[in-house]
């Protein structure tokens, strides 16, 4: 954990122009700089860098933020890794939380294992390139597979000699700890001091972490041997957990981000051949079923996954079970079935990038539809098999967290399966409730609390927690957060002289808090609510400044919202321009906004309330219609009374809105 003082030093030292210019050619344009966006295919410069605000933003794709955000996105690093990256650039010593003796020992051991793996990687490469056996067997094999020398070098491929303990002897001679050789799994230890290299007689494939460290190895044997697997992998260790690693992720992460898509294959050579063909946004599960850890790793860079299958029907059905985990994470999944007799490795070696991409794009299918059609072929007219098929599809659809996407799949599958849509809905609802009971928590509802509407116009929870309700309110809640982040500490004044009076003047944060609490309201968007609650919590601290605090917030989502808000383009109202003159320079805009806080902050609060009650009015009208159609007159009368109350409230809000003069464009 990096202490806050060090974080502040890094943020102060990391000048955005200096950081971005290491990766992007910038040209001065007025007070800002501009260049081609590195995050999408930019033909005309749309990436703006603001030295005064110390942030960047692409006005085409929307990417941007502080120096830390830029490094996180460009180098595909975590928040703390990006801080360390910048600390190294500016020669800032990173002070982390003091570790206990046990933590220090564990940390030192982990570093030692990584160092040993790096040595082994270099040893295997040297053996492949310079040893007679390595060149004749290992290098010949790779070249027979069609791998170019630059690809062999890129993926750091190597060879382990057939000699029983060649690596072990070399490592001990170079002073490496025997215990760590056993812990990494590079060497096997047996009875009577028996030792042997795990990967002897195999070509070697290093497995890299997201940051490029060698965490494990895979080795393929080249000669026929009984009772020996074709591939042998490193065992689990202090640094290697198979369920959290994907082969090729280090080489693919930037391409995945740029393409906003990840191709998922099975083995090492599938990844390497596709890279050689020019498709770099590809990773492999290394022949194992997908895990939550691997899926989260992909989800860091994209929500779009295309799974490549060969024509082996049995293999496809086995792999389908792992794909359900992707659905549960809310990912958009496509499937490509390769021609008979082809796998990603062989198919990629026969095509260049353009033809391969063209084939993948033209032959990808939606996963649910693909799975339904595949299982339908097996089921035929057998009613028992068709019932099992429906249950299988229902289970997959129930895992999808987005209700709208689920409804689309239900409609499609209803036609494909020739089953009434209502039957599917009922079965899916049963499955969802079953999943909730098993997990004890919901992945299928919004993780935000319902909005607290006043008692005279209270909306039911199923309405306020719906995605549609949340998205309708987001832009209005964002307007409130805009003023909290930019001007939260400032007093709500329209005249600088007012700040000199003895009368207590509330800050922006204090006013928003008061205005929400008096109507029993709270922000519904969980990120906006967290921002506001933290602003209230830290308000009394002397050195607390909302914009600086949230720009360097450890939660990447929050700091990114702050960066976007600090880069927003706002236009002065006509009333203000008439009062202060249309020749006001652009640089005076922040001052102009500060002078208008007394008008603008109450206005955005009223706009938010108006939207709350407008949404409730819409729901009341629907409920009234249903009550009248069903003949429930008691309920209809109740809804008519609530409608009348809401009309009075909205009328008052409209009147107040009409009197406000500052408009946010």
pLDDT range class, residue 107, cuts 50, 70, 90: low
**HSE toward the beta carbon, residue 373, CA cutoff 13 A:** 9
Does residue 464 surpass a pLDDT of 70? no
Average pLDDT over every residue of 272-295:
87
pTM, 2 dp? 0.59
For position 365, what pLDDT does the model report? 86
- Per-residue pLDDT at 462 exceeds 60: no
Q: Rounded distance, CA 512 to CA 521, Å?
A: 11
549 CA to centre of own chain: 23
pLDDT of 455 above 60: no
Rounded Cα distance, 394 and 462, in Å: 23
Tell me what the pLDDT averaged over the chain comes to. 80
- The pLDDT value recorded for residue 591 is 53
Mean pLDDT to the nearest integer, 450-460: 33
The pLDDT assigned to 665 comes to: 27
Q: Above 80 in pLDDT, residue 203?
A: yes
Closest C-alpha among 145, 359, 360, 136 to residue 272: 145
What lies within 8 Å, CB to CB, of 372 at 6+ separation is 389, 393, 413, 416, 417
Residues 334 and 365 sit within 8 Å (Cβ to Cβ): yes
What distance in Å separates the CA atoms of residue 32 and residue 52, rounded to the nearest whole number?
A: 8
Q: Which strand (E) or helix (H) includes residue 282?
A: strand 282-284
| DSSP assignment of 396-449 | HHHT---HHHHHHHHHHHHHHHT--HHHHHHHHHHHHHHHHHHHSS-SSS-SSP
Structure tokens at 440: 């004890």
Give all strands (DSSP E) within 15-81, no chain letters.
Answer: 27-29, 32-35, 47-50, 55-58, 64-65
Tens of pLDDT, residues 525-581: 888 989 998 888 888 777 788 888 888 888 888 888 888 888 754 444 444 444 444
Residues 345-399: tens digit of each pLDDT: 999 999 888 999 999 999 888 888 888 888 887 777 788 888 888 888 888 888 8
What is the spatial distance between Cα 486 and Cα 477, in angstroms, rounded to a whole number? 14
Return the DSSP state at 239.
S
- Domains of the chain and CATH, by start: 4-89 (3.90.580.10), 101-240 (3.90.980.10), 249-371 (3.40.1360.10), 380-439 (no CATH), 455-659 (no CATH)
CA distance 419 to 399: 20
Per residue in 211-223, pLDDT (tens digit) is 788 999 999 998 8
% residues pLDDT > 90 (the chain): 24
Q: How many CB atoms lie within 10 A of CB 391?
A: 11
CB neighbourhood size of 91 (10 A): 7
């Amino acid at each position: 954990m990096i202490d806050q003082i060090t974080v502040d030093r890094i943020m102060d030292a990391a000048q955005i122009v200096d950081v971005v210019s290491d990766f992007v050619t910038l040209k001065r344009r007025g007070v800002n700089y501009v260049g081609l966006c590195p995050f999408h295919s930019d033909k005309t410069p749309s990436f703006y860098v603001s030295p005064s605000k110390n942030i960047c933003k692409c006005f085409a794709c929307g990417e941007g933020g502080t120096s830390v955000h830029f490094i996180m996105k460009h180098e595909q690093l975590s928040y703390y890794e990006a801080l360390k990256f910048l600390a190294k650039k500016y020669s800032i010593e990173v002070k982390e939380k003091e570790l206990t003796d046990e933590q220090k020992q564990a940390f030192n051991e982990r570093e030692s294992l990584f160092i040993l793996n790096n040595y082994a990687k270099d040893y295997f490469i040297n053996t492949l390139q310079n040893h007679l056996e390595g060149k004749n067997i290992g290098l010949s094999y790779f070249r027979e597979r069609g791998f170019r020398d630059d690809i062999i070098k890129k993926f750091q491929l190597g060879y382990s000699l057939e000699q029983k303990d060649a690596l072990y002897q070399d490592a001990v001679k170079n002073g490496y700890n025997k215990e760590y050789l056993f812990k990494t799994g590079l060497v096997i230890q047996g009875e009577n001091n028996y030792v042997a290299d795990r990967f002897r007689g195999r070509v070697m494939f290093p497995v890299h972490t997201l940051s490029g460290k060698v965490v494990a190895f895979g080795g393929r044997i080249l000669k026929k041997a009984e009772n020996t697997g074709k591939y042998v992998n490193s065992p689990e260790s202090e640094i290697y957990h198979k369920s959290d690693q994907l082969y090729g992720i280090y080489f693919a992460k930037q391409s995945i981000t740029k393409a906003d898509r990840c191709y998922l294959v099975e083995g090492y050579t599938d990844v390497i051949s596709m890279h050689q063909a020019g498709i770099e946004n590809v990773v492999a599960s290394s022949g194992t079923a997908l895990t939550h850890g691997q899926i989260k790793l992909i989800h860091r860079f994209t929500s779009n996954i295309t799974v490549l299958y060969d024509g082996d029907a049995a293999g496809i059905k086995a792999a389908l079970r792992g794909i359900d985990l992707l659905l549960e994470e809310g990912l958009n999944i496509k499937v490509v079935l390769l021609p008979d007799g082809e796998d990603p490795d062989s198919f990629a070696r026969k095509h260049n990038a353009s033809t391969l991409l063209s084939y993948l794009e033209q032959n990808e299918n939606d996963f649910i539809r693909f799975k339904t059609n595949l299982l339908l072929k097996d089921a035929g007219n057998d009613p028992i098999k068709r019932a099992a098929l429906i249950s299988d599809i229902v289970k997959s659809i129930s895992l999808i967290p987005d209700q709208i996407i689920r409804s689309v799949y239900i409609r499609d599958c209803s036609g494909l399966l020739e089953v009434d849509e209502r039957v599917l809905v009922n079965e899916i609802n049963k499955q969802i409730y079953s999943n909730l009971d098993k997990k004890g928590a919901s992945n299928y509802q919004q993780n935000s609390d319902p909005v607290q509407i006043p008692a005279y116009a209270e909306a039911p929870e199923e309405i306020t927690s719906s995605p549609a309700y949340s998205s309708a309110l987001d832009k209005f809640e964002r307007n409130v957060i805009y003023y909290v982040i930019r001007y939260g500490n400032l007093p709500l004044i329209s005249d600088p002289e007012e700040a000199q009076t003895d009368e207590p003047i509330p800050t922006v944060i204090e006013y928003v808090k008061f205005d929400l609490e008096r109507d029993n309201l709270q922000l519904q968007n969980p990120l906006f609510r967290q921002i506001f609650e933290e602003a209230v919590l830290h308000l009394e601290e002397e050195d607390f400044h909302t914009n600086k605090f949230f720009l360097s917030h450890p939660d990447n989502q929050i700091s990114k919202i702050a960066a976007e808000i600090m880069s927003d383009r706002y236009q002065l109202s006509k009333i203000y321009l008439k009062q202060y003159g249309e020749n006001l320079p652009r640089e005076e805009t922040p001052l102009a906004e500060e002078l208008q806080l007394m008008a603008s902050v109450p206005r955005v609060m009223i706009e938010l309330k108006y939207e709350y009650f407008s949404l409730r009015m819409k729901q009341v009208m629907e409920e009234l219609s249903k009550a009248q159609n069903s003949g429930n007159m008691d309920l209809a009368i109740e809804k008519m009374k609530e409608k009348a109350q809401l009309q009075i409230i909205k009328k008052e809000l409209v009147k107040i809105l009409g009197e406000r003069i500052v408009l946010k464009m």
